[in-house]
Amino acid sequence: MTVTGALNSTTGTLYVVATPIGNLDDMSARALKVLADVALIAAEDTRHSIRLLQHFGIETPLAACHEHNEREEGSRFITRLLAGDSVALISDAGTPLISDPGYHLVRQARAAGVPVVPVPGACALIAALSAAGLPSDRFIFEGFLPAKTAGRKARLEQVREEPRTLIFYEAPHRILECLQDMEQVFGPERPALLARELTKTFETLKGLPMAELRAFVEGDSNQQRGECVVLVAGWTAPESDEAVSTEVLRILDLLLKEMPLKRAAALAAEITGVRKNLLYQVALEKQKV
Ligand code: SAM
């Protein structure tokens, strides 16, 4: 396999290379080959990455590409790429750009017509989701929540009724406060899972209703250490809420103004998909008021 340059082109390729999130055995053979073959490795923290590269006997030169210099220094990498050198982008752990630097460099490269090739591998959110047993067909990744309670709760409120599985990254020194806020916003019964120290010696995946998960972490200071991902089941409307959602009520109200109760309930059921009998009961209640 040749990794430098695209076919029929003198332009180099920007490889976006995932590295392990703990267990070095998760480094892929392809990632190792790319890192050894490129002219330059753009790394979030060169001191951190040098250890990884030394472990695998890779001697490719490193250059810093972190959130503070990425926009300004991106052009340096683009110049190298346009001159024909291939560059690999790595972050401290996992997949670059996923709560890590790289977005601006990738944008600049694509804008300059440089081929950008992903070399996939470890990613904490995907590893956690793959073993969580929560619905995985649709999910949203919220990254890191704001550090202060007010901001965090405001953000959580925005996704309180999100039906897809929610995934958050959190720092260990904030995990307890974060779970406390989640319990308040999502309620004590919402299924949740803490995925801690994935792929490492003290890997823990604990799935519990939100209040029990908060209590579990509160009662064991070891659970407040290490790296963690929090997953929360999406919102499901309680049966009794089916009839009283604001939108359904609005439709029912409009129809009740125009036609008899029974017909309004039937038509509202057809429009909204809510059971006709429930809407009939709600309409009856409304008439009593
Ligand atoms: N780019 C990385 C990825 O692909 O997952 C994420 C980098 S972000 C700066 C670091 C956060 O990812 C941590 O605070 C934690 O929330 C999560 N994380 C990284 N490694 C992890 C691990 N081994 N176990 C659990 N969470 C991890």
48-68 tens-digit pLDDT: 999 999 999 999 999 999 888
Side by side, the strands of the sheet bearing 228-232 are 139-144, 165-170, 228-232, 191-196, 204-209
- 135 and 212 part of one domain: yes
In sequence order, which residues have a C-beta less than 8 Å from that of residue 199 and are 6 or more positions away?
Answer: 20, 21, 22, 23, 26, 122, 127
- 19 and 102 part of one domain: yes
In a domain, 9, yes or no: no
In a domain, 86, yes or no: yes
Residue ID of nearest Cα to ligand 1 atom 26 = 228
What is the whole-number distance in angstroms between the Cα of residue 216 and the centre of ligand 1?
Answer: 21
What local confidence, expressed as pLDDT, does residue 289 receive?
59
In a domain, 4, yes or no: no
In a domain, 92, yes or no: yes
What is the whole-number distance in angstroms between the Cα of residue 22 and the centre of ligand 1?
Answer: 9
Residue-wise over 2-37: b if at least 16 C-beta within 10 A, else e? ebebeeeeebbbbbbbbbbbbeeebbbeebbebbbb
**In degrees rounded to 5, what are phi and psi of residue 232?**
-130, 130
For residue 74, the domain's CATH number is: 3.40.1010.10
- 104 and 141 part of one domain: no
2-6, 207-211, 236-240: least confidently modelled range: 2-6
Residue ID of nearest Cα to ligand 1 atom 25 = 228
For residue 147, the domain's CATH number is: 3.30.950.10
Q: Which of 93, 122, 151 is the last residue of a domain?
A: 122
Q: Is the pLDDT of residue 241 over 60?
A: no
> Amino acid identity of 76?
R
- 99 and 36 part of one domain: yes
Q: Is the pLDDT of residue 283 over 90?
A: no
- 114 and 163 part of one domain: no
Are 224 and 175 contacting, i.e. CB atoms less than 8 angstroms apart?
A: yes
- 188 and 112 part of one domain: no
pLDDT band at 1 (very low <50, low <70, confident <90, very high): very low
- 130 and 76 part of one domain: no
Q: Which of 122, 147, 182 is the last residue of a domain?
A: 122
**Run of H or E including 232:** strand 228-232
Mutate to test the pocket of ligand 1, among 228, 230, 231 (most ligand atoms within 8 A of CB): 228
Going from the C-alpha of 289 to that of each of 141, 208, 221, 247, 268, the distances in angstroms are: 43, 41, 53, 20, 20
Cα–Cα distance, 226 to 220 (Å, whole number): 13
pLDDT, tens only, 140-155: 999 999 999 999 999 9
In a domain, 133, yes or no: yes
Q: Is the pLDDT of residue 9 over 80?
A: no
* Sole residue written with tokens 């050894």: 36
Are 111 and 77 contacting, i.e. CB atoms less than 8 angstroms apart?
A: no
- 250 and 223 part of one domain: no
In a domain, 182, yes or no: yes
In sequence order, the β-bridge partners of residue 206 are 194
- 72 and 104 part of one domain: yes
Give the binding-site residues of ligand 1, using a 6 Å CB cut-off. 21-22, 91, 93-95, 98-100, 123-125, 169-171, 195-200, 227-229
- 211 and 283 part of one domain: no
Per the structure, the complete domain to which residue 184 belongs is given by 125-232
Beta strands in 24-108 (DSSP E): 40-43, 62-64, 87-90
Whether this model's pTM surpasses 0.95? no
Q: Which of 232, 250, 272 is the last residue of a domain?
A: 232
pLDDT band at 2 (very low <50, low <70, confident <90, very high): very low
What is the whole-number distance in angstroms between the Cα of residue 140 and the centre of ligand 1?
Answer: 16
What local confidence, expressed as pLDDT, does residue 284 receive?
81
CA nearest neighbour of 91 among 146, 189, 19: 19
- 98 and 114 part of one domain: yes
What local confidence, expressed as pLDDT, does residue 107 receive?
96
In sequence order, which residues have a C-beta less than 8 Å from that of residue 179 and are 6 or more positions away?
Answer: 192, 194, 210, 213, 214, 217, 230
Point out the ligand 1 atom lying closest to the alpha carbon of residue 200. 23
Q: What is the DSSP secondary structure assignment for residue 221, as one 8-state letter?
A: G
What local confidence, expressed as pLDDT, does residue 116 receive?
98
pLDDT, tens only, 112-136: 999 999 999 999 999 999 999 999 9
More confident call, 248 vs 33: 33
Based on the structure, what is the number of domains in the chain?
Answer: 3
What local confidence, expressed as pLDDT, does residue 151 receive?
97
